[in-house]
């Protein structure tokens, strides 16, 4: 660990003590990381989570809530003064207004502190005094976790890997064509470099649209305030025989290294290293709908993501963690309200299987992990309809265009291998089934006092994540 790292750690600790004052020393803080690739459902998850922790009658699966031990829950100023606050009020207003709509998409790190006054569990519950427990929720893009793998790669290795993976992808054709006109050995032309980086970024967006998750560098998709900076102006190249000084290859190589040192590492240092509990949201249904290639890619991306939770795998990261670790990791397949509950078990089984390899490694590292199918905000109701003389278990909701419709997503297989097998073997499409997806608008809410927004298994998710700390 360098001096800079030590100083960083110290300042961070002192700041977090100072900000909350003297008492903070005795008040436990749980840092809950919420991540997932973009559109996985992070913003909706955090908004509904907070609303349901403030008003807990739909949280019977959280034992501190069902035992009535939570005397109060309240939002507080977060200790981190330089991280944007998660805009809970605005997101809740979007979901719960008279014309409910999904919150606008967000693309960087944000935080929110929720504090509880909670009585201890067990026999002495009535005797001992209530204590304060803080829950710091950190929302960060899963794309940024994928960048961890870059730390172990040289520019040359990364370029080779990317070019091999994208060779057969339709979405990459324009970039690969542009690449032909660029010689890595030639002197860098900044205008051409910018154009090439832009074209590579366009490929990443197209790949994301097509359902692929292996999109590095993560900041190209979600640049925040780094847009246009040199650290983001590079792209993978075919290695030239010779790369003289000043050549595109050499300069891209330097920028790749700068990206690692000045973008990737600070993210892990500032936001990731302090996390105790983690939920990884995964749009499994969306990937199934997009087809076998997208599902296989999601599996690979999840395995890579999990590498971040096994600090032993990466020397730099293990120094940063200094023996700490993320204690619990939940993989939650989101948007389960697209399926009738009779299929939720299958969705969970598919999520488990999808993550099996990755989970084995995380369990090995001592973290507890679990897979679950949830809906942070339930937008549908269930209904059984007759179709061609057959009973179909459907869901019904309001579509984005205002129409009301019953919807059948298709029948998920009982055996996850029926999907994962063909995905692994590179099948072009699902053979014996067709999976649909539909975007529902959030349903208008009529909440009784004490009630948070309707959800599916959000309470169980929270119980697994932080139940032992309340
Ligand atoms: N039906 C349903 N749709 C959801 C749910 N959560 C998220 N979505 C959909 O997924 C989209 C992306 O969610 P968001 O939270 O913004 O994803 P983020 O990019 O990970 O923050 C939303 O606009 C909704 O269309 C859910 O619980 N149920
Ligand atoms: Mg978001």
Helices (H), 397-445: 417-424
Q: What is the per-residue pLDDT across 350-391, written as a single tens digit (0 to 9) for each?
A: 999 988 876 666 555 677 889 999 999 999 999 998 888 888
Task: Considering every ligand atom shown, identify the ligand nearest to the alpha carbon of residue 104 and give its number.
Answer: 1
Q: Which of 280, 333, 364 is nearest to 32 (CA)?
A: 280
Question: Is the CB of residue 438 below 6 angstroms from any atom belonging to ligand 1?
Answer: no
Instruction: Give the CA count within 13 Å in the CB-facing half-sphere of 13.
Output: 7
For residue 113, CA distances in Å to 47, 73, 470 come to: 12, 11, 15
108 with 87: CB under 8 angstroms? no
In angstroms, rounded to a whole number, what is the distance separating the alpha carbons of residues 217 and 149?
A: 10
Question: Is the CB of residue 335 below 6 angstroms from any atom belonging to ligand 1?
Answer: yes
Tens digit of pLDDT per residue, the chain (470 long)? 454 455 445 444 444 444 444 445 678 999 999 999 888 999 999 999 999 999 999 999 999 999 999 999 999 998 888 888 999 999 999 999 888 999 988 778 999 999 999 998 876 666 678 899 999 999 998 888 888 889 889 999 999 999 998 998 889 999 999 999 888 999 999 999 999 999 999 999 998 887 777 789 999 988 877 888 889 999 999 999 999 999 999 999 999 999 999 999 999 888 888 899 999 999 999 999 988 988 998 888 888 777 777 766 677 877 887 777 788 999 999 999 999 999 999 999 999 998 887 666 655 567 788 999 999 999 999 999 888 888 889 999 999 888 998 988 888 999 999 999 999 998 988 887 778 778 899 998 888 899 999 999 999 999 999 999 99
Task: Considering every ligand atom shown, identify the ligand nearest to the alpha carbon of residue 87 and give its number.
Answer: 2
Protein residue with least CA distance to atom 24, ligand 1: 102
Helices (H), 355-469: 356-364, 417-424, 458-466
Residue linked to tokens 């976790």: 145
Q: Which atom of ligand 1 is found nearest the CA of 440?
A: 1
Q: In what order do the strands lie in the sheet with 390-398?
A: 381-387, 390-398, 404-407
In angstroms, rounded to a whole number, what is the distance separating the alpha carbons of residues 261 and 253?
A: 13
Rounded to 5°, the CA angle 149-182-237 comes to 15
Q: Which of 220, 232, 219, 236 is nearest to 178 (CA)?
A: 236
Q: How far is the CA of 101 from the centre of ligand 1 (A)?
A: 10
Protein residue with least CA distance to atom 26, ligand 1: 335
Q: Say what the pLDDT of residue 142 is.
A: 86
Helices (H), 75-226: 88-96, 142-146, 155-166, 173-180, 190-209, 218-221
Report the first-to-last Cα separation within the chain, whole angstroms. 34
Question: Is the CB of residue 43 below 6 angstroms from any atom belonging to ligand 1?
Answer: yes
Q: Say what the pLDDT of residue 330 is.
A: 93
For residue 349, CA distances in Å to 115, 286, 413 come to: 34, 16, 10
Q: Say what the pLDDT of residue 225 is.
A: 76
């Amino acid at each position: 660990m360098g001096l800079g790292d030590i100083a960083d750690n110290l300042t961070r600790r002192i700041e977090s003590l100072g900000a909350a004052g003297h008492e903070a020393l005795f008040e436990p803080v749980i840092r809950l990381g919420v991540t997932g690739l973009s559109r996985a459902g992070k913003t909706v998850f955090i908004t509904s989570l907070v609303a349901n922790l403030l008003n807990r009658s739909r949280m019977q699966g959280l034992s501190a809530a069902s035992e009535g031990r939570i005397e109060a829950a309240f939002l507080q100023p977060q200790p981190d003064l330089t991280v944007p606050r998660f805009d809970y009020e605005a997101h809740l207003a979007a979901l719960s207004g008279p014309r409910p709509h999904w919150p606008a998409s967000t693309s960087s790190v944000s935080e929110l502190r929720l504090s509880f006054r909670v009585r201890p569990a067990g026999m002495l519950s009535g005797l001992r005094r209530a204590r304060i427990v803080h829950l710091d929720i950190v929302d960060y893009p899963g794309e940024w976790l994928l960048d961890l793998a870059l730390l172990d790669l040289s520019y040359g290795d990364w370029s080779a890997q990317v070019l091999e993976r994208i060779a057969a992808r339709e979405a990459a054709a324009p970039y690969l064509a542009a690449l032909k006109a660029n010689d890595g050995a030639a002197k860098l032309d900044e205008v051409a470099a910018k154009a090439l980086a832009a074209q590579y970024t366009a490929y990443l967006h197209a790949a994301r649209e097509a359902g692929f998750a292996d999109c590095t560098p993560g900041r190209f998709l979600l640049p925040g305030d780094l847009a246009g900076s040199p650290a983001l102006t590079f792209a993978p190249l075919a290695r030239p025989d010779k790369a003289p000084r000043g050549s595109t290859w050499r300069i891209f190589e330097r920028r790749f290294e700068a990206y690692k040192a000045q973008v990737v590492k600070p993210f892990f240092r500032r936001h990731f290293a302090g996390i105790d509990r983690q939920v990884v949201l995964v749009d499994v249904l969306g990937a199934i709908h997009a087809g076998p290639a997208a599902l296989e890619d999601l599996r690979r991306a999840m395995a890579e993501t999990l590498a971040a939770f096994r600090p032993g795998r990466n020397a730099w990261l293990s120094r940063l963690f200094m023996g700490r670790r993320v204690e619990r990791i939940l993989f939650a397949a989101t948007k389960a309200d697209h399926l009738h509950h009779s299929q939720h078990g299958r969705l969970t089984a598919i999520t488990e299987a999808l993550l099996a390899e990755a989970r084995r490694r995380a369990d090995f590292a001592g973290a507890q992990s679990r897979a679950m199918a949830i809906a942070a905000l339930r937008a549908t109701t269930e209904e059984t309809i007759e179709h061609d003389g057959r009973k179909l278990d459907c869901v019904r909701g309001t579509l984005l265009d205002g129409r009301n419709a019953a919807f059948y997503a298709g029948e998920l297989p009982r055996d996850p291998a029926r999907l994962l097998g063909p995905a692994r073997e590179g099948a072009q499409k699902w053979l014996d089934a067709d999976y649909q997806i539909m975007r529902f608008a959030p349903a208008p809410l009529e909440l009784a006092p004490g009630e948070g927004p309707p959800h599916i298994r959000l309470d169980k998710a929270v119980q697994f994540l932080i139940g032992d700390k309340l």
